[in-house]
Chains A and B, each alone.
Chain A
Amino acid sequence: MRAEWAIATKDLRLLARDRTGAFFVLLFPLLIMVFFGSVFGGSGPGRGAIAVAVTDLAGTPLARAFASDLRTQGALQATIADDRRTAETLVRTGKAVAAIVIPADFDRKATSLLQGGRVEVELLSDPARGPETALLQGMLTQMGFRTMGRILESPSMGRDMVAQARLMIAASPGMTQDERSRLRTLLDAAEDVVVQRTPSGDGGVVAAPPLVQVRISELAREANVPRNAYAITFPQGVAWGLMGCVVAFGASLAEERRRGTLLRLVTAPLVRLQIPLGKFLGCFMASMVVITVLCVFAMTVLGVRVGSLAMLMAAAIASAYAFSGLAVGLAGFFRTEGSARSAGNAVVLMLAMVGGGTVPLAFMPPFLRTASAASPFSWSIFAIEGAVWRGLGWNEMAPSLLVLWVLGSAGLAAGHLTIRTREG
């Protein structure tokens, strides 16, 4: 391990003395974190459809219609979840910004509209997605009016509603005879309208009080998770720092080849695996330094509160491991320093963009969100977010940690194999 350690510390020293490298590894990610954090902090969500999970606990006609309204909304990308827990998981795991839960008594409450009935739809939201949650709330209220229109358009529902109102009028002891008869005349007229199904323009009912009331419940384990935009850009900053490390270390082997120093490594009494292992260790250490610096900065200067430090550590180690493997894989692959730097940059930049390094995953169109699964960035960002504000449990975190571990090991193995065949 001493030779690997020597290679790693030598590479770290070289990186620290290379101004451009150090800039992309540390300063640039900091700028990204601060810059995008301040931008997202002020504005609403992006233009992409908002991913939501929809759970219909009622399954009755009005509820079903309401759910299908949600699905056909252009601004939403709805996934049907069979129960509340599934919906919650979708939100926790970042696959949906929020879950909309349609209560079991949706139809009953909706048709008692005239008696002051209100449907309470629950919006389980991701605490970090404040702007989108507000948008969703407005959308749900709006859609409540459509349900109201449906009630009035349906002869049987209208008749039921009028009949219920008649019963209530009859049962109200405090009413004068005069009031009763006047209300009955009104109900007769209403019944005529409803039964003859005069197509009612929505305009006629818009003035009514909203039928759907949205109750927002936040899905945080920790009640005090702040709605801090930096909590979103912090994992992004980390991803960019890791990318800087990947490019620096991905090119370092080609640089050793150009300088001729690789010859000294190859002719030294080392086992071949020690060279990629040394590079891997160096990149891992650089990555950990970057993550630590960004973490401390985010927590002290930007006020980001971390949900679970232990999980953050696990996410950081797994991410550093994955990206170091990627660096060694790239290092083995590229022959010249120029190609390593430019192609490495291109590959890493693409992975970063697809993986949510630039545009947050939640704002991405669906096909890109699917593609992002192929990028280590998305897994790393997800794991870090999971620790910082998603409030994930270890079991929800495990898959991404595992994926990161597999990616890192695959990169290391690929790097080792290519270096072994290249250097004879």
Chain B
Amino acid sequence: MSPAFDHDRERDASGYLPDVLRLEGLVKRFDGVAAVDGLSLRVERGQIFGLLGPNGAGKSTTIGMAMGLLRPDAGSVEIEGHGSPVRTEARRALGVAPQSEALYDDLSGLENLRFFARILGLREPSRAASEAIERVGLGPRGRDRVKTYSGGMRRRLNLAAAILHRPPLLLLDEPTAGVDPQSRASLLDLVRSLAQEGAAVLYTTHYMEEAAKLCDRVGIMDRGRLLDSGSVDELLQRHGTETLVFVQRNGHGEERVATRDPMGVVSQALQAGEVTGLRVERPDLETVFLSLTGRSLRD
């Protein structure tokens, strides 16, 4: 079966980029405790939306509702042109890479992909499988059983299973967790190129650098709520208000100044003389998170 969405046709017809995924006021409670509490967000075609939050923030629960696996207690999930993912047809538009890899250990990488291609209803499952396995760089190991794969290879295969049918919407739940820096870089490249081809990507992570580098938009999530979202620059403007200036003087330790006027601080320090080292740290998502939640992302 051909891809359910034809990006170029849609673009020509409407002339603007519609939302591929729309979450409105989602609530999910487990035993009365809200894991997701009134979350709304939109992901456009070609856009990578990073959902950033600490453990237990509700990222996977959100993804679970987006893929129709969990039924929201309130709110709605809309997939472009298809409505709720509860509908079989709407699920055709989904490519999913769950946080815990969903793979058959006793099948080879290619056999896994061929099987997933078949249940996706693809007309040429073998071709789709070998294309996808090449894309994640696992071609040479395609015929080996998955149980012989390293953690990073499993992650890559998990992602390959999500892109078999070139879906217009990718739901990737921590696709880089536990992957070494090299594999991580190639996975990020892959996600970026998928977005460039037109896919909308909802991407969860708790690596800030990754979110900052990869994502067009970032949502900061904590305790089931989306505290703010926007491009990294927008978030920094809104919440990363203080720049850190580190000044080192002769015979003294490093002095750390948090300020809204880093240029002023620097020129002051230079006028005072005896400066042996000077370092300015731009605020980052960590600072944003700190200012939004009052606690550090890393703990």
Contact = CB atoms under 8 A, between A and B. Distances in A.
Interface of A: 2-3, 5-7, 10, 13-14, 17-18, 259-271, 424
B96 A264 contact: yes
B289 interface: no
Contacts of B115: 6, 10
A196 to B, nearest CB: 89
B102 A18 contact: no
B106 A259 contact: no
B67 interface: yes
A90 to B, nearest CB: 50
Nearest to B87: A269
Choose among B69, B101, B104 the residue with the greatest number of A CB atoms under 10 Å from its CB.
B104
A270 B120 CA distance: 8
A346 to B, nearest CB: 26
A272 to B, nearest CB: 9
Given A260-B100, A264-B161, A267-B91, 20 more contacts: A3-B119, A3-B121, A14-B106, A259-B102, A259-B103, A260-B98, A260-B102, A262-B102, A263-B69, A263-B98, A264-B96, A264-B116, A267-B68, A268-B120, A269-B88, A269-B92, A269-B120, A269-B121, A270-B119, A271-B88
Contacts of B85: 267
B180 to A, nearest CB: 22
A267 B66 CA distance: 10
B96 A13 contact: no
A6 B98 CA distance: 21
A256 to B, nearest CB: 9
A264 B102 contact: yes
Interface of B: 67-71, 85, 88-89, 91-92, 94, 96, 98, 100-107, 111, 115-116, 118-121, 161
Contacts of B101: 260
Contacts of A264: 96, 98, 102, 116, 119, 161
Given A10-B115, A271-B88, A263 B102 contact: yes
Contact of A259 (B67, B94, B104, B111): B104
Given A18-B106, A260-B100, A264-B161, A6 B119 contact: yes
The residue in A10, A262, A265, A267 that gathers the most chain B C-beta atoms within 10 A of its C-beta is A267
Given A14-B107, A17-B106, A18-B106, A263 B121 contact: no
B88 A10 contact: no
B71 A424 contact: yes
A2 B100 contact: no
In this complex, the member of A3, A17, A268 whose beta carbon has the largest number of chain B beta carbons within 10 angstroms is A268
Contacts of B68: 266-267
A53 B119 CA distance: 56
B91 A268 contact: yes
Nearest to B123: A2
A391 B68 CA distance: 55
Nearest to B116: A264
A10 B110 CA distance: 12
Contacts of B98: 260, 263-264
Main secondary structure of the interface of A (DSSP, over half): helix
A34 B85 CA distance: 53
27 contacts: A2-B121, A3-B119, A10-B107, A10-B115, A13-B111, A14-B104, A18-B106, A259-B105, A260-B98, A260-B100, A260-B101, A260-B103, A261-B104, A262-B102, A263-B69, A264-B102, A264-B116, A264-B119, A266-B69, A267-B68, A268-B120, A269-B88, A269-B91, A269-B120, A269-B121, A271-B88, A424-B71
A264 B118 CA distance: 12
Contacts of B96: 263-264, 267
Contact of B94 (A13, A267, A424): A267
Contacts of B121: 2-3, 269
Contacts of A263: 67, 69, 96, 98, 102
A271 to B, nearest CB: 6
Contact of A267 (B69, B71, B105): B69
Given A259-B103, A259-B104, A265 B69 contact: no
A266 B71 CA distance: 13
Contacts of A7: 119
Nearest to B100: A260
A271 B107 CA distance: 24
A142 to B, nearest CB: 62
B119 A261 contact: no
A269 B1 CA distance: 12
Nearest to A17: B106
Contacts of A269: 88-89, 91-92, 120-121
A424 B69 contact: yes
B104 A2 contact: no
A262 B116 CA distance: 11
Contacts of B92: 269
A424 B101 CA distance: 21
A136 to B, nearest CB: 54
A138 to B, nearest CB: 58
A424 B86 CA distance: 9
Contact of B67 (A261, A267, A271): A267
A14 B107 CA distance: 7
A268 B92 CA distance: 7
Contact of B118 (A2, A18, A261): A2
A2 B114 CA distance: 13
B88 A261 contact: no
Nearest to B71: A424
Nearest to A2: B118
A323 B11 CA distance: 52
A92 B161 CA distance: 56
B69 A261 contact: no
Contacts of B106: 13-14, 17-18
Nearest to B70: A424
Contacts of B94: 267
